[in-house]
Chains A and B, each alone.
Chain A
Amino acid sequence: MTTPQASVLDDLPGDLMMWVLILSELAVFGAGLMGFLAVRLTDPPGFAEAQAHLHSTGAGINTLVLVTSGWLAALALEAARAGRRARLRALLAGAALLGGVFLFLKAQEYADLWAAGLTFESHAFYTFHMLLTGFHAAHVLAGILLLGLVGWLATPRAVEAGAAFWHMVDLVWVLLFPVVYLI
């Protein structure tokens, strides 16, 4: 049976379930970011003061790292479609490596906050900062593992799913970065 609704979904580039996941993640992070800005209205000076303790340059570099990593993953999908296994694996390894760089820079920020005695409970700003970036970092870690898995499978379908997850991680970060670090 053909249905109008099924045909719209058939246009989706990639697996339906991956898109369900992407939408769910966007919704959750989106709600978190709106919650953050809403709570900020109750204490602007406190939020500004707390934000000053973050590494905003490091976070800017991390944006460059992630979008570049996403670029490599997108190229890997093209290689997978062209049937070039060695190239796709090399590209995915590059993408995963940059994911590692991202996590390394992130860990330094956490370590410095920790050393300054700033934790989850110190201020509402840090509760949000650590929840949002912590959840995001957990997704980066999961994404690195997933890239490893799909690189091993090396089929176009698998690489497409892995890359889609990785782009979602990217997308969340470009929205999170200005809200938490800059404004």
Chain B
Amino acid sequence: MKYQTQKIALAYFVVAMALFAVQVTMGLVLGWIYISPNFLSEILPFNVGRMLHTNSLIVWLLLGFFGAAYYLIPEEAEREIHSPKLAWLQLAIFVIGTAGVVVTYLFNLFDGNWLLGNEGREFIEQPRWVKVGIVVAALIFLYNISMTVLAGRKTAITNILLLGLWGLALLFLFAFVNPDNLALDKMYWWYIVHLWVEGTWELVMASILAFLMLKLTGVDREVVEKWLYVIAALALFSGILGTGHHYYWIGTPGYWQWIGSIFSSFEVAPFFAMMSFAFVMVWKGRRDHPNKAALLWSLGCATLAFFGAGVWGFLHTLHGVNYYSHGTQITAAHGHLAFYGAYVCLNLAIITYALPHLLGRDPYNQVLNMVSFWLMSGGVVFMTFTLTFAGTIQTHLQRVNGEGYMDVQDQLWLFYAMRFGSGVAVVLGAVLFIYAVLVPRREIIERGASQPAE
């Protein structure tokens, strides 16, 4: 760690990992409810648990991005963070806001209240006061990092990272646009949800991956930057109009079927480019960095993102296919592998890379960390397969044969049981990961000779 203010990242990463644990545990509860539908039905109805699962996911991923920015921007800009105080204030606002959401939902407080009640739109259910807090915190964050970058060295990595983070924050403003017309409501809703994960977040992903590749493989910055710009261009070119793949059946005009099908098919390209980028860099790289686990997570991220977002996304993105598969377990299969591959693995990669520096240790316990990678990734991949099979059967029975929704669900029991099993592996993997990066102070298993960390 070269700059004192990089330490801020540590707090963000720790809070992020705590929420990560909550998120996957909540997933496990949901998975159990699928098997035994009355489980906790009085205290924690499925919809509330689901909201906690998805929202804690979003919040911890964002906190991870913030932490990553606070970690890598000083190194890239060669400057201390503009104001550490503001960074702490921002974190406090986020923590209070998150607690507010959880309490409001768990106890169903202030229902229908304009300011205090929940808003009931998936991923952006937060009560309005929390949304305002998020915007304030985001502005503080953007001000803080932009000032740092403006005062320091400007690199392609910070350029693309800032572009992604600014876009992310500006798009969130659509959370305040909530028309009564359900079709319009959905239209704006996708501006956030889709343009986040298939637009601005991709820029964040590409720039963080580029930073990791630069550090871990020692490839020339020039080469990394060229890739980074190409990836960013491909992501925006395909992703913006790719939003059309959510406009097939919500009441928007029919031409969206073609715009959505064509542009979203090309969304595979940036994910393919990111995967190629990661492997080409490693293959060309001359540095043998001791933090093997960070490299494993980075490569895993690029690969699983390509499969989860690229392949599983393409699977149901053509409107002729989506007509049948829309909203089935196929969607859930894609949602899990895409989020996991692209953004969960990305955060865990930068955390694995940064924590040894932040804690002032050698990258210890690579073995445990790598075991957690295989356990968690194996779990999510298996879960994706079970859900894909479940979704295929569901599509056929329900959408082709016209059977009733609940009759079909009864027949999918076996898949849900297997999904629960893979969920257990994911949760164990997550716990193991958190333990491996935070606790051990010395190597438990000998590692091979290596050169000092950069």
Contact = CB atoms under 8 A, between A and B. Distances in A.
Chains A and B directly touch (beta carbon < 8 Å): yes
A148 B238 CA distance: 27
Contacts of A1: 219-220, 223, 284
Interface string B225-258: 0100110011001100000000000000111001
A131 B244 CA distance: 13
A115 interface: no
A120 interface: yes
Interface stretch (B117-125, B259-267, B293-301, B398-406): B259-267
B222 to A, nearest CB: 9
Contacts of B269: 24
Contact of A16 (B226, B234, B261, B284): B226
Nearest to B262: A31
A181 interface: no
Given A1-B219, A3-B223, A28-B266, A20 B234 contact: yes
A31 B259 CA distance: 10
Interface residues of B, number: 23
Nearest to B265: A31
A121 B233 contact: no
Contacts of B284: 1, 3
Nearest to B273: A20
B254 A27 contact: no
B262 A21 contact: no
Interface string B263-304: 101100100000000001000100000000000000000000
A128 interface: yes
B125 to A, nearest CB: 35
B130 to A, nearest CB: 38
A128 B258 CA distance: 8
Contact of B229 (A6, A17, A128, A130): A17
B238 A127 contact: no
A24 B234 contact: yes
Given A121-B254, A127-B254, A127-B255, 19 more contacts: A1-B219, A1-B223, A3-B284, A17-B229, A20-B233, A20-B234, A21-B237, A24-B238, A24-B266, A27-B266, A28-B263, A28-B266, A31-B265, A32-B262, A35-B261, A121-B253, A128-B258, A131-B255, A131-B259
Interface of B: 219-220, 223, 226, 229-230, 233-234, 237-238, 253-255, 258-259, 261-263, 265-266, 269, 280, 284
